[in-house]
Amino acid sequence: MSGAASIDLPAARDVQAEFAAWTSHLADERRLSPLSVEAYARDVRFFLVFLQDHLGGPPSLAALKDLHPRDIRAFLARRRSEGLTSRSVMRMLAAARSFARFLERRGKGSASALNAIRAPKIARSLPKPVSATAARQMADVETRAGDEREPWVIARDAAVIALLYGCGLRIAEALSLTRAEAPAVAGALTVTGKGGKTRQVPVIAPVARAVADYIALCPWRLTPDGPLFVGAKGGPLNPRIVQRAMQDMRSALGLPDTATPHALRHSFATHLLARGGDLRAIQELLGHASLSTTQIYTEIETEKLIAVHAAAHPRA
C-alpha cells in the first residue's frame, strides 16, 4: 500500500481522495498483494496524466464522469504510439475500469465510457517450461561449484528454486513463508496464495532437504514468525535476488531467457500432467481459482505430441 499511497497524482483533490480510498479497497477488501496494488495505481496514474494534458488541467470527479468513449480511444492511441504492447494497453484499461467502477459504486462517477471500449486482442502464448533435468540442476548447489558467494547464500537460492519447481509455488508465495512454516520431509506445506487463499501442497524429500540445508547454514537467527528466506543483511529476501540467481543459472546452463522463476511453476504443472497427473488435482496444487486456467497445460502437452509426431512419423 505504501507504494501506491506515495504515487504523485496529477488530479484534483476530490479524485486524489477517491484514489486513496480505492487503493485501500484493493488492499483491504480485495486483498491484492502490495505489488498488485502498486501496479494498478501506477496504471491509473498514467491515465490521469493523459487526461490532464487531454482536458487541459487536473481531472476532477466531474470531468471523469463526463468522459466519452472517444476520450478513452485517444488515451489508448497515445499509449500505442508510445510503443506499448496490446497486453500492457489491456492492463491499463483494466486498471482504469476498476477505478471507474469503484467511483460508480460510491455514486461519484461513471464507468460507461470505459465499458464501451473493447479491450485489444492479444495473442495467447503458452507457458514455456524448462526441462526436468534443467530444473533439477537449478535447484542443486553442486551446479554452483566455484561460485564465489557464501555457501549459505548458494544454499538459500537453491532452496527457493527447489520450492518453485518441487511445490509449484509463485515466487511471492515462497518468499512469504515464515521460519515456522518451513517444510518438513514427507509433510505438507500451507501456502497463502492470491487473494489470501490457502492451500496444502505436498513436500517431496529433496525440497525439504534443500530448505533444511539452507537453515543449517544461515548465519542469521530465523525467528518463528520472521521470514524463512533472508537477504545478506538478515531482512526479507528481495524477489530480484532470486531473479538474478536464475539469470546466472540460465547463463551457466545455456537456457533461454524464458527460464524464469515463474517458468519453474509452469514446469511443475507440465511435468505432473505428462506423468499422468489429474488436471483437477493440479489445479488445487497451483491454487488456480478456475480449471480453465489450469487447462492451458494440456495445450502444452498437445503441442509436444504434435512436434514428436512430426519429427518421428515416416510420412510427416
Report whether pLDDT(244) > 50: yes
Q: Is 265 considered catalytic here?
A: yes
Encode burial over 210-229: b for 16+ CB neighbours within 10 A, e otherwise.
bbbbbbebbeeebeeeebbb
Q: Is residue 121 part of a domain?
A: no
Considering 25, 101, 128, 194, which one is annotated as catalytic? 194
pLDDT average, residue stretch 101-119: 91
Residue 298: band (very low, low, confident or very high) from pLDDT cuts 50, 70, 90: low
Residue 302 — pLDDT band, cuts 50, 70, 90? low
Range of the domain at 47: 2-115
Residues 6+ apart with CB under 8 A from 56: none
Tell me which of 297, 309, 313, 315 is the catalytic residue. 297
Residue 125 located in a structural domain? no
Please check whether residue 297 is in contact with residue 312, taking contact to mean a CB–CB distance below 8 angstroms: no
51 within domain boundaries = yes
The active-site residue, picked from 170, 250, 266, 271, is 170
Confidence of residue 1 (pLDDT cuts 50, 70, 90): very low
CATH number at residue 179: 1.10.443.10
User: Is residue 108 flagged as an active site residue?
Assistant: no
Within 13 A of 29's CA, how many CA atoms are on the CB side? 7
| Residue 190, domain member (yes or no) | yes
Distance CA 262, CA 22 (A): 29
111 in the same domain as 137: no
Does 123 fall in a domain? Answer: no
Region 278-298 average pLDDT: 72
- Asked which of 214-223, 288-297, 300-309 is least confident by mean pLDDT, the reply is 300-309
**Average pLDDT value over all residues in the chain:** 85
Quick check: 289 pLDDT over 80?
A: no
Catalytic pick among 45, 97, 265, 271 = 265
Residues 153 and 255 in one domain: yes
Residue pLDDT, tens place only, 145-154: 777 889 999 9
Minimum mean pLDDT among 54-68, 115-129, 236-250, 296-310: which range?
296-310
Higher pLDDT: 195 or 47? It is 47
Which pLDDT does position 222 carry in this prediction? Answer: 95
Same domain, 107 and 76: yes
Within a domain: 120: no
Residue 2 has pLDDT above 50, yes or no: no
CA-CA distance, 220 to 56, in Å (whole number)? 55
Choice among 45, 144, 156, 288 that is catalytic = 288
Q: Are residues 245 and 278 in the same domain?
A: yes
pLDDT average, residue stretch 273-293: 75
**pLDDT score for 126:** 58
Residues 61 and 206 in one domain: no
Q: How many CA atoms lie within 13 A of 232 on its CB side?
A: 4
What is the count of structural domains for the chain?
2
Residues 110 and 147 placed together within one structural domain of the fold = no
Confidence at 313, pLDDT banded by 50, 70, 90 = very low
Q: Is 194 a catalytic residue?
A: yes
Asked if 170 is an active-site residue, the reply is: yes
For residue 230, list its beta bridge partners. Answer: 236
Q: The domain that contains 78 carries what CATH number?
A: 1.10.150.130
Please spell the DSSP secondary structure of the chain, one letter per residue: -HHHHT----S-HHHHHHHHHHHHHHHHTS---HHHHHHHHHHHHHHHHHHHHHHTS---HHHHHT--HHHHHHHHHHHHHTT--HHHHHHHHHHHHHHHHHHHHTTS---HHHHTSPPPP-------PPPHHHHHHHT-GGGGTT--S-HHHHHHHHHHHHHHHHS---HHHHHT-BGGG---TT-EEEEE-GGG-EEEEE--HHHHHHHHHHHHH--S---TTSBSSB-TTSSBPPHHHHHHHHHHHHHHHT--TT--HHHHHHHHHHHHHHTT--HHHHHHHHT-SSHHHHTHHHHHHHHHHHHHHHHH-TT-
Does residue 124 sit within a domain? no
Q: What is the pTM of this model?
A: 0.59
- Could you say which of 25, 42, 108, 262 is catalytic? 262
Given a contact cutoff of 8 angstroms between Cβ atoms, the answer to whether 294 and 283 are in contact is yes
